[in-house]
Chains A and B, each alone.
Chain A
């Protein structure tokens, strides 16, 4: 018999294999079959497991392997230079890691692909499970067979001297007193009265909430990365007003900036007093600090960094002003002795690098109270002039008059607008609540059957095994109470 069935199984497998390998066979692609396969795949817990562990592995790579900074990753030239810089560190692996996208893991096809697959899988699972959970909560199965009470992991048989009606009422009272919902279901054909009791019947929806919450967070993240705007290097010299990009239509004036320090030199506070304008009219004003941003119509301004600025004035031959305001010296030279800022005079096709000495440093060419200008025609490699300016003394270079008025500070802000945020926070809240709901309020279900015995009613109680450590003592406690109630009433 066994021999026989094994042979047929082998034959069947062989037949199946030949169908698969024979391209000219009659086997046609069936859309419904493919859908079924997809459904089965995406609702499989094995896939869910693989996806989560796969994402964990990629994320681990992303936290161990250095990741290309945002500005570098998007600029091929800068990226290649950055890669060269990594050669000493990663050697031959540099190229391999690069080919695998491991220097920008979170934007790689692998990571995104797995994230999309996980989202699909979560949705599929939720769709599959929700009706089952709903039925269990609203129309639970109330009748269990005799064998259930014989084989259930938790079961108890109690003989009473009561009538079946009294025994039922007593059992029900005990469960009600323990805050269980009770449903009575009498089977007219067998004469057995079934009692179903449960607690926290909505808690299993915590998993549905938690699952959908993950999707909401991911969607929110996507919305943010597609529709959001972020500038981490938005520098505003004190006293100047700078336009914000990203179509926000806002501009920001830094009224003042202050940095304070503890006695040991560690920073204690950075504060910038800002005024935000929309089309020239002030719409908001606030002194922002680290951890205390200013938000205007969904665009938020965060205190991030600060540094020196040079207040410059540029005018043309007719004396008309071309530029008036601070130039933040955002960059440091490689040896950290100089600070460099950029001033673009686009109408004149002129780009000016403004170079100052870093605080506490000495430079042979630029003395205190001086600033150096390197002036380029846009797109050219050779400067048309390199000149050092004394504070307050205008200098005519290439037909334009440049004046270095004074030193100033700039405050560096992060500007962020993220329309995905409400979704992310909603999802995060739902995720936390969902998790706590599942785990804090265990769903408990117990079945009982009351039938007439020789001396009185026989009561059987049973429950399935749950991963719920507190259930075993709970079941014992409840059955003891039922037993006591029978004894007390008798």
Chain B
């Protein structure tokens, strides 16, 4: 089972890389086509009108390069899911006990959220930012020993641990998509590029993703508090990891309100989402920077 899990993991890793390549190639080929047509038509305006037509084709066309990207992204999701299932069977508890397992689970969340949003909004450009996140998480996982140590006492509360982390994965997946859409928003807005999706659509996607992420993050923090209370007799102790999750929560909370404040819509809201995702990653990788009660057995030995 360990072997099966590792093979699926490697297949997942490779698929994510390939899917990303497809997206990047599709994107670059549009760019190339744009330059050529701009030259041919000797008029930037005519060229770009034609290209907005092409960009629709690239983002929607089932048989295009990007279409393969989508297909491979689905495959990646299946492989990573399989890796998690095999891992669960092999270690006998949810795959949420050390940084190796959690990184794969996080990557799974990002992939799942990406696939869902891409399908729902027909927006492959999301992959340009969401897939690198998944890829980096999986690459990071390869640097951690995949051994499974028995659980230290504080992690033995299986149900709480499993739900706490499973819910976190949903939240983080949502935030990764919100980040991808925000990054596209910022690029589109600063470069004025017409090949990227409409700003309103990107805002819409960010908002939908946060609307999923925020309640789940709230639940993560509450479950974490319940767990801390059971283990240490306090629901909140300003442990750096708890604090970092509060920072994340406050940033996304601020984002939900920024949308209705004049002057905060658009780019500023998008920057908030970038900051929010940075905080998410900081919370996640926090163990590398600071000690704390959150003992993940893969790292501190």
B290 touches A270 (CB 8 A): no
Report the stretch among B10-18, B28-36, B63-71, B240-248 that lies at the interface.
B240-248
Contacts of B235 in A (CB 8 A): 421, 424
Contacts of B244 in A (CB 8 A): 59-60, 63
- Select A414's contact among B232, B247, B254, B260, beta carbons within 8 Å: B232
Tell me if A49 is interfacial: C-beta within 8 Å of chain B.
Answer: yes
B215 touches A435 (CB 8 A): yes
Tell me if B49 is interfacial: C-beta within 8 Å of chain A.
Answer: no
Q: Is the interface of B mostly helix, strand, loop or mixed?
A: helix
Q: How far is the CA of A440 from the CA of B214 in the complex (A)?
A: 12
Given the known inter-chain contacts A59-B250, A428-B222, please indicate yes or no for A304 contacting B152, CB distance below 8 A: no
Q: How far is the CA of A348 from the CA of B233 in the complex (A)?
A: 36
Q: How far is the CA of A95 from the CA of B127 in the complex (A)?
A: 47
A435 touches B251 (CB 8 A): no
Q: Interface code A467-479, partner B: CB below 8 Å = 1, 0 otherwise?
A: 1010000000000
Total B residues in contact with A, Cβ cutoff 8 Å? 52
Least distance between B228 CB and chain A CB atoms (Å): 11
Q: Interface code B160-202, partner A: CB below 8 Å = 1, 0 otherwise?
A: 0000000000000000000000000000000000000000000
A439 touches B211 (CB 8 A): yes
Q: How far is the CA of A403 from the CA of B38 in the complex (A)?
A: 97
Given the known inter-chain contacts A52-B254, A230-B234, please indicate yes or no for A266 contacting B150, CB distance below 8 A: yes
Contacts of A59 in B (CB 8 A): 243-244, 246-247, 250
| CB nearest to B161 among chain A residues | A291
- Select B218's contact among A303, A431, A440, beta carbons within 8 Å: A431
| CB nearest to B262 among chain A residues | A46
Contacts of B238 in A (CB 8 A): 62, 67, 106
Tell me if A418 is interfacial: C-beta within 8 Å of chain B.
Answer: yes
Least distance between A62 CB and chain B CB atoms (Å): 5
A416 touches B233 (CB 8 A): yes
Contacts of A439 in B (CB 8 A): 211-212, 214-215
A291 touches B225 (CB 8 A): no
Least distance between A259 CB and chain B CB atoms (Å): 10
Interface magnitude class on chain A: 35 or more
Tell me if A264 is interfacial: C-beta within 8 Å of chain B.
Answer: yes
Q: How far is the CA of A55 from the CA of B247 in the complex (A)?
A: 8
Least distance between A284 CB and chain B CB atoms (Å): 16
A290 touches B264 (CB 8 A): no
A435 touches B218 (CB 8 A): yes
B261 touches A291 (CB 8 A): no
| CB nearest to B221 among chain A residues | A428
B154 touches A432 (CB 8 A): no
Q: How far is the CA of A436 from the CA of B44 in the complex (A)?
A: 48
Contacts of B264 in A (CB 8 A): 49
| CB nearest to A261 among chain B residues | B150
A49 touches B257 (CB 8 A): yes
A414 touches B233 (CB 8 A): yes
- Select B153's contact among A291, A424, A436, beta carbons within 8 Å: A291
Contacts of B149 in A (CB 8 A): 262, 264, 266
| CB nearest to B297 among chain A residues | A266
Q: How far is the CA of A64 from the CA of B230 in the complex (A)?
A: 26
B222 touches A431 (CB 8 A): yes
Q: Interface code A427-446, partner B: CB below 8 Å = 1, 0 otherwise?
A: 01101100110011000000
- Select B231's contact among A230, A264, A302, A432, beta carbons within 8 Å: A302
A62 touches B232 (CB 8 A): no
- Residue of B253, B279, B286 ringed by the most chain A CB atoms within 10 A: B253
Tell me if B157 is interfacial: C-beta within 8 Å of chain A.
Answer: yes
Tell me if A74 is interfacial: C-beta within 8 Å of chain B.
Answer: no
| CB nearest to A105 among chain B residues | B238
Q: How far is the CA of A435 from the CA of B156 in the complex (A)?
A: 29
Q: Which of A296-318 contact B (CB under 8 A)?
A: 300, 302-304
Q: How far is the CA of A429 from the CA of B225 in the complex (A)?
A: 12
Q: Which of A26-84 contact B (CB under 8 A)?
A: 45-46, 48-49, 52-53, 55-56, 59-60, 62-64, 67
Given the known inter-chain contacts A49-B261, A63-B244, A439-B211, please indicate yes or no for A467 contacting B204, CB distance below 8 A: yes
Q: Which of A393-432 contact B (CB under 8 A)?
A: 414-416, 418, 421, 424, 428-429, 431-432
| CB nearest to B211 among chain A residues | A439
- Select A268's contact among B150, B208, B225, beta carbons within 8 Å: B150
Contacts of A302 in B (CB 8 A): 231-233
Tell me if A267 is interfacial: C-beta within 8 Å of chain B.
Answer: yes
Q: How far is the CA of A67 from the CA of B244 in the complex (A)?
A: 14
Contacts of A300 in B (CB 8 A): 233
Least distance between B282 CB and chain A CB atoms (Å): 8
Q: How far is the CA of A62 from the CA of B253 in the complex (A)?
A: 19
Tell me if B207 is interfacial: C-beta within 8 Å of chain A.
Answer: yes
Q: How far is the CA of A272 from the CA of B301 in the complex (A)?
A: 26
Tell me if B259 is interfacial: C-beta within 8 Å of chain A.
Answer: yes
Q: How far is the CA of A127 from the CA of B205 in the complex (A)?
A: 31
Contacts of B234 in A (CB 8 A): 230, 414, 416, 418
Least distance between A235 CB and chain B CB atoms (Å): 15
B257 touches A291 (CB 8 A): no
- Select B152's contact among A53, A63, A221, A266, beta carbons within 8 Å: A266
Tell me if A201 is interfacial: C-beta within 8 Å of chain B.
Answer: no
| CB nearest to A259 among chain B residues | B153
Contacts of B247 in A (CB 8 A): 56, 59-60, 63
Q: How far is the CA of A291 from the CA of B156 in the complex (A)?
A: 8
Contacts of A469 in B (CB 8 A): 120-121, 204-205, 207-208
B153 touches A267 (CB 8 A): yes
| CB nearest to A295 among chain B residues | B233
| CB nearest to B236 among chain A residues | A221
| CB nearest to A107 among chain B residues | B238
Contacts of A106 in B (CB 8 A): 238
Contacts of A467 in B (CB 8 A): 204, 207, 259
Least distance between A100 CB and chain B CB atoms (Å): 17
Q: How far is the CA of A273 from the CA of B127 in the complex (A)?
A: 55
Contacts of B260 in A (CB 8 A): 45
Given the known inter-chain contacts A60-B247, A230-B233, A414-B233, please indicate yes or no for A48 contacting B257, CB distance below 8 A: yes
Q: How far is the CA of A64 from the CA of B211 in the complex (A)?
A: 28
Q: A416-B233, A431-B222 are in contact. List 16 more A-B contacts (CB 8 A).
A: A45-B261, A49-B254, A52-B250, A56-B251, A60-B243, A106-B238, A264-B149, A268-B152, A269-B153, A270-B153, A290-B153, A293-B230, A293-B233, A418-B234, A432-B218, A467-B204
Shortest Cβ-Cβ A-B pairs, 9 listed: A290-B153, A416-B233, A435-B215, A56-B250, A63-B243, A52-B254, A302-B233, A63-B240, A428-B222
Show 29 A/B contacts (Cβ-Cβ < 8 Å), sorted by A.
A46-B261, A49-B258, A52-B254, A52-B257, A53-B251, A59-B243, A59-B246, A59-B247, A60-B243, A64-B289, A221-B236, A262-B149, A264-B149, A266-B149, A266-B301, A268-B152, A268-B153, A289-B153, A290-B153, A290-B154, A291-B157, A292-B230, A303-B153, A424-B235, A429-B222, A436-B215, A440-B215, A469-B207, A469-B208
